[in-house]
Copies of this chain bind each other. A is one copy, B any other.
Amino acid sequence: MVTINLIGSGNVATHLARAFKNKADIFAVNPHTFEGFCPDADFAIIAVTDNAIREVAAKMPASESIVAHTSGSTPASILSFRGNKYGVFYPLQTFSKARELNYKEIPFFIEACDKDTESKLMRLASIVSENVSVADSEKRKALHVASVFACNFANYLWNVADNILKENGLDFNMIRPLLKETLEKTNYLPPALAQTGPAIRKDTGTMASHLDFLSGNIEWSELYRMISSCIISNSKSK
């Protein structure tokens, strides 16, 4: 069985430990003390926040492991000082500890210092996922930035919607069929063609009445104004 030092205790580390359960020998390693570190393991996966990768890699005990981080937006080369077996092991998903995930579906993107290391990291990812590809730092950053818009920012808009509903004695469940259809529609229409709502209709009366409704909350008004104007100018340029 493949052996992995899994360094970190956040959402990604937690989910990688679950993903590899019974499929690899996992050494759960504390990123501060390196307690639990096995110098003979095949891999050392550094699953810590981007800002901490370099420091953790620098403090990591000497070993022959292939060293990889899990960050979308950090170049593989940040690990080059560790020797000649390093790379990136990037699972593209939103990880919350409370969630059970189907790891087979999660796309993994691999980058490595050389072909041999790349194929070893590819094989490692293939143990858990059916969706493994190579992506250099630039492509991986594009994937990460796109994911921030598509997932993190969309979730934030749902949070705004949730708060608007609560403030008016309404429930998020009321808009679930809408959310479901909004997402399902993208399987049939690209988002540019799936766009609906007052902005794409240039329905200025409704937009004004919504801004009036939101006038007590500067943040929500500003978001409404800005995203509406993006939708309008985007439709004009077609």
Contacts and interface: CB of A to CB of B under 8 A. Distances in A.
A197 B151 contact: yes
B158 A186 contact: yes
Contacts of A205: 50-51
A169 interface: yes
Nearest to A227: B153
Q: How many copies does the complex hold?
A: 2
A213 B155 contact: no
Contact of A182 (B155, B186, B197, B227): B155
B213 A156 contact: no
Interface in A74-112: 74, 92-96, 98-99, 101, 105-107
B144 A195 contact: no
A198 B49 CA distance: 9
Nearest to A211: B145
Interface of A: 11, 49-51, 71, 73-74, 92-96, 98-99, 101, 105-107, 131, 138-139, 141-162, 164-165, 167-170, 172, 174-183, 185-201, 203-206, 209-210, 213-214, 219-220, 222-224, 226-227, 230-231, 233-234
